[in-house]
Amino acid sequence: MTDDQALEMREHAEPEDDRVGETASDPVAALGPLIRELRKQKGLTLSDVAARTGLSVGHLSQVERGLSTPTIRQLQQVSETMGVTIGWFFRADQPEPPSPDSDVVVRAHRRRRMTMSGVGIVDELLTPSLDGALELLFCTLQPGAGSGPEPYAHAGEEAGLVLTGEMELFVEETRYHLRAGDSFAFPSTKPHRYRSTGTVPLQIVWAITPPSY
């Protein structure tokens, strides 16, 4: 029996409450359980997702248990395999009843967010939903954090404004160095990646159209 087969068997045998160990009550480790939740909704096994993404069963199991954080490219691969965009993983820390203005306004304390603590990235959704033609994000990257060494691409266009910190942006083979006050725009179909290169957190207001991140 291979290690991947053993992990697959353990995945089916483990009680539901043990699936993420001590991270179950940690809000910054919620990404893994959400991936597992969606995978089960789709009726897929770890082996199914591994075969379709090229990622190993072992790595996917660690991600689901909150022991490892996927890169943006890996999360994109997992999302595409399960028929959603990365935006599906945005969740409110404390869900609240809809307010009278929630279809137009997003209050600062009500933002939905996706936290990838293992790679030092927090993305907050600034638009009320992902149902329209525009996705607006407030992104915070700790020094050294980034989308990973592998570029990724998707449908649409994107643009952003750097508020604080410094950013290294690659679009295809070209490298750009941005500081606070600089902005950018490019077709999302071009392979791209990015990294926070300064000594303080990088904060960006990032627009994507259509919502495909």
Reduced to 3 states (helix: H, G, I; strand: E, B; else coil), residue 141 is: strand
The rounded distance, in Å, linking the Cα atoms of 80 and 212 is 10
The rounded distance, in Å, linking the Cα atoms of 122 and 182 is 20
Query: Do the beta carbons of residue 163 and residue 202 sit within 8 Å?
Result: no
pLDDT at res. 91: 76
Helix (H) or strand (E) holding 5: helix 3-13
- % the chain with pLDDT above 90: 67
Q: Is 124 left (phi over 0), alpha (psi -120 to 50) or beta?
A: beta
The phi and psi torsions of 22 (rounded to 5 degrees) equal -75, -5
pLDDT bin (cut points 50, 70, 90) of residue 96 is low
Has residue 121 got a pLDDT over 70? yes
More confident site: 21 or 2: 2
- Tokens representing 155 are 């449908």
**Of 189, 161, 186, nearest to 175 (Cα)?**
186
The rounded distance, in Å, linking the Cα atoms of 37 and 33 is 6
- The pTM of the full predicted model, rounded to 2 decimals, is 0.79
- Tokens representing 88 are 């599906």
**Of 35, 72, 42, 70, nearest to 56 (Cα)?**
70
Residue 161 identity:
L
Summarised one tens digit per residue, pLDDT across range 31-52 is 899 999 999 999 999 999 999 9
195 strand-pairing partners: 146, 168
